[in-house]
């Protein structure tokens, strides 16, 4: 196995990846026994990681910092809604952090997280939990399936 082979757009790559927040909290991790497999250029992984993978040599490791614009995007107040409990089905008993999917007339359901419960009001947030955060990734190219 030579490590002169480099990742390029269109390759399918097996990689080991650990993602964590600036405070060290791990939010994603896999092992060599359970590698992440992605096709470069298809948007299957955050843009910052995909960009870092391009030109990496087979068998190499890299530690990168990904800002929100190349990660999960900025947080948006437009994706936070407060709803009166009386507008919700009576059998719905929310808890903080609960993730629910609300169907749309067209397209995929939207995922919301219960952000706050205060009296008769519930605040839902549709931002990705990692939106607005700077992320740190350690990546290792384990295999290039179609060099």
| pLDDT tens sequence across 41-64 | 999 999 999 999 999 999 999 999
User: Quick check: is 102 in a domain?
Assistant: yes
Same domain, 68 and 135: yes
pLDDT digits (tens, 9 = 90+) for 66-86: 999 999 999 999 999 999 999
Cα–Cα distance for residue pair 113/59, rounded to 1 Å: 38
Cα–Cα distance for residue pair 147/140, rounded to 1 Å: 16
User: Quick check: is 111 in a domain?
Assistant: yes
Total domain count, the chain: 2
Same domain, 83 and 62: no
Q: Which domain holds residue 19?
A: 12-73+130-144
Q: CATH number of the domain that 114 lies in?
A: 2.40.10.330
Cα–Cα distance for residue pair 24/35, rounded to 1 Å: 21
């Amino acid at each position: 196995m030579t490590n002169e082979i480099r990742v390029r757009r269109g390759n399918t790559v097996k990689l080991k990846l650990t993602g964590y927040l600036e405070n060290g909290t791990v939010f994603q991790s896999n092992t060599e026994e359970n590698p992440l497999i992605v096709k470069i250029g298809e948007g299957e992984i955050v843009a910052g990681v995909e960009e870092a993978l391009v030109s990496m040599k087979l068998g190499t490791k890299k530690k990168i910092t990904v800002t929100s614009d190349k990660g999960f995007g900025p947080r948006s107040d437009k994706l936070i809604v407060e709803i009166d409990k009386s507008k919700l089905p009576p059998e719905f008993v929310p808890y903080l952090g609960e993730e629910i999917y609300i169907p749309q007339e067209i397209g995929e359901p939207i995922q919301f997280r219960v952000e706050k419960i205060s009296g008769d009001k519930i605040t839902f947030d549709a931002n990705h939990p990692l939106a607005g955060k700077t992320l740190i990734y350690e990546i290792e190219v384990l295999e290039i399936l179609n060099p």
